[in-house]
Amino acid sequence: MRGRIGVAVTFVRPELLSLSEELNRQGLDEDRGATASLRWVAWSSLVVVGLVTAVSIAFADTMWMALPGFVWLSTGILTMTSGATAALLWQEARGQKSRALSSLAAAFGYLTVVYPAFFMSFPGVITPAGPWLGGSQSSAWLYFAAHIGIVLGIGISSFFRIRDRDERWWDVPSGILAGLVVSAWVIDQHQTLPVLLERGVPNRLYDGMSVLAVALGVVAGGVVVLSAVRTQSRLRWWLLVVVSLATTDVLIHMFSTARWQVAWYMPRLIGVLAGALLMVVLFAEVAAQSRSMTALRVRERLLTAEKFKEAAETDPLTGCLNRRGLEARFSAPGHSADSAGRGFPAAGYSAVYFVDLDNFKNINDEYSHDIGDTALRVVAQALRRSVRDGDVVVRYGGDEFLVVAQGLSAPGDADRIARDLVRAIGQAPTESLPAGLVVTASVGYVVVTEISGNLGSVIHDADLSMQQAKKEGKNRHRRGDVGVSNPVVISSLADADPLR
């Protein structure tokens, strides 16, 4: 009945569970560890954007040397960064099931189509005579389509973040489709669209479109601020920088009167900066999330292993430790220090109690095994209520229990605990048991000065004392003859299993 048992033990700290729950609450756009510091960096970036805007407007008419391939370079970078940003955001939206991130990915998917259309309709970029697609006004209309589209997209994304909706698979395809429709319509209708540039100079309609784009940018910025404050998301603060850059781009461009001026170059440089900035932030976020997810997976594996270990070391009927759990508890290095950490003195006496129910076979035979199981649960509850928090209660097998009490100041404390155990079982609540059924137990125990590794011999002596209590009439306790002045070293249950 009492075979060999051996198992390695790992005690998992309780804070692992709280750490796992905290990491579960964090996503790519809500890594709270760096939110506060990066928020100040974002605000500083807004101040720099404001200074650049003021300087650019002041020198708006200053001519720069024409840079060969500048439009190729800027538009190529914008297209690549928009596409990569859309891909990153879409992957994260699927992982987090976030409608905010999927709608933001759709906005950058939209830009991925509009920017190449702008590039191909810009005069003199591909063919010296004029635009490759569309007409002279196509690039100007696509310019506004890009800037108005991105501020609206970021504003909608922030609104969804406030509402906290789930992602939808069609968000990004819808954004790309919108970009295709807008680009195709502008290029196809270039002859009938209102004129925005007259001989390369912006007109009043251009200024009106610019005011509209700036106003939408301000509104979108307000929504982003509200979303960032409510969610404490650092990505939202960086999106505020992107909205500001897009709005500033249009604002500076309003003061341009000819190509190759400061007010013509700076908006395009700012557009490139906006795309590159968000890419850097996203890559930093992905790296941070990767580290968090790696740590989370490690901790989840530890928690899973601990759950399996706990199940293997716990008796499913009574909720007490089983023999495997007892072995693990007292074979683990440092278990004596652990008992001291629970408020028990490192030195002192220890007692091992062998508890055996009286006439348990008769209970099973007369009432049923279900009633017998109920009686075992009642006894287990009575034992747990009568011992100290740090004492160990074990279902050793069948109707046998063990109680291990450490840190006793005197042998007399062990005698008192033995009386309490017998009394607690005899007076245990019996509402769940048949009327007239009283459960009692005989307890044998041994007091030693040290438990440091080998529990088997102590259990054997306590078992012999319990058998003596049975012979003397049951429902009583008896102390063993082991001298308390002689320490007993404990290392393995199997080493001294009395019935092995």
Q: What are 341-354's pLDDT values in tens digits?
A: 444 444 578 899 99
Task: Provide the number of structural domains found in the chain.
Answer: 2
Q: Are residues 383 and 268 both part of a single domain?
A: no
Question: What one-character DSSP code corresponds to residue 500?
Answer: -
Residue in 248, 275, 265, 273 with CA at minimum distance from that of residue 54: 248
384: Cβ contacts below 8 Å, ≥ 6 apart: 320, 393
Tell me, yes or no, whether 265 lies in a domain. Answer: yes
Q: Are residues 39 and 180 both part of a single domain?
A: yes
Q: What does the mean pLDDT of the chain come to? A: 76
Residue 351: per-residue pLDDT: 92
Q: Are residues 270 and 210 both part of a single domain?
A: yes
Q: Are residues 337 and 294 both part of a single domain?
A: no
CA atoms within 13 A on the CB side of 66: 8
Q: Are residues 274 and 331 both part of a single domain?
A: no
Q: Are residues 366 and 259 both part of a single domain?
A: no
Least confident range from 159-163, 169-173, 177-181: namely 159-163
Give the percent of the chain with pLDDT over 70.
Answer: 72
177: Cβ contacts below 8 Å, ≥ 6 apart: none
Q: In angstroms, rounded to a whole number, what is the distance separating the alpha carbons of residues 210 and 220?
A: 15
Tell me, yes or no, whether 56 lies in a domain. Answer: yes
Q: For residue 419, what pLDDT band results from cuts at 50, 70 and 90?
A: very high
CATH number at residue 353: 3.30.70.270
Q: Are residues 277 and 356 both part of a single domain?
A: no
Most confident segment among 54-68, 114-128, 156-170: 114-128
Q: Are residues 479 and 446 both part of a single domain?
A: yes
Q: What is the CA radius of gyration of the chain?
A: 38
Tell me, yes or no, whether 318 lies in a domain. Answer: no
Residue 153: per-residue pLDDT: 85
Residue 495: per-residue pLDDT: 37
Query: Is residue 171's pLDDT more than 90?
Result: no
Mark which of 282, 298, 314 sits at the end of a domain.
298
Tell me, yes or no, whether 317 lies in a domain. Answer: no
Q: Are residues 279 and 332 both part of a single domain?
A: no
Strands (E), 293-440: 349-357, 392-397, 400-408
Q: Give the residue with greater pLDDT, 255 vs 390.
A: 390
Residue 67: per-residue pLDDT: 57
Q: Are residues 119 and 167 both part of a single domain?
A: yes
Tell me, yes or no, whether 232 lies in a domain. Answer: yes
Most confident segment among 53-62, 185-194, 340-349: 185-194
Query: Is residue 117's pLDDT more than 60?
Result: yes
Q: Give the residue with greater pLDDT, 439 vs 337.
A: 439
CATH number at residue 194: 1.20.1070
Residue 41: per-residue pLDDT: 61
Question: What one-character DSSP code corresponds to residue 166?
Answer: P
| Per-residue pLDDT reduced to its tens digit, 305-331 | 677 777 778 888 998 989 888 887 776
- Per DSSP, helices labelled H in 314-368 are 323-331, 335-341, 360-367
Q: Are residues 152 and 284 both part of a single domain?
A: yes
Q: In angstroms, rounded to a whole number, what is the distance separating the alpha carbons of residues 213 and 111?
A: 16
Tell me, yes or no, whether 434 lies in a domain. Answer: yes
If you average pLDDT over residues 477-483, what whole number do you get? 77
Query: Is residue 23's pLDDT more than 80?
Result: no
Residue 296: per-residue pLDDT: 67
Mark which of 298, 315, 350 sits at the end of a domain.
298
Tell me, yes or no, whether 5 lies in a domain. Answer: no
Query: Is residue 490's pLDDT more than 70?
Result: no
| Per-residue pLDDT reduced to its tens digit, 366-404 | 889 999 999 999 999 999 999 988 889 999 989 999 999
If you average pLDDT over residues 191-204, what whole number do you get? 81
Range of the domain at 54: 15-298
Q: For residue 451, what pLDDT band results from cuts at 50, 70 and 90?
A: low
Query: Is residue 25's pLDDT more than 50?
Result: no
If you average pLDDT over residues 68-88, what whole number do you get? 77
If you average pLDDT over residues 422-441, what whole number do you get? 87
Question: Cα 36 from chain centroid?
Answer: 19
Orientation of helix 262-312 relative to helix 70-96, angle to 10°: 20
Q: Give the residue with greater pLDDT, 25 vs 222.
A: 222
Task: Read off the pTM.
Answer: 0.48
Q: Are residues 337 and 392 both part of a single domain?
A: yes
Question: What one-character DSSP code corresponds to residue 394?
Answer: E
Q: For residue 66, what pLDDT band results from cuts at 50, 70 and 90?
A: low
Tell me, yes or no, whether 49 lies in a domain. Answer: yes
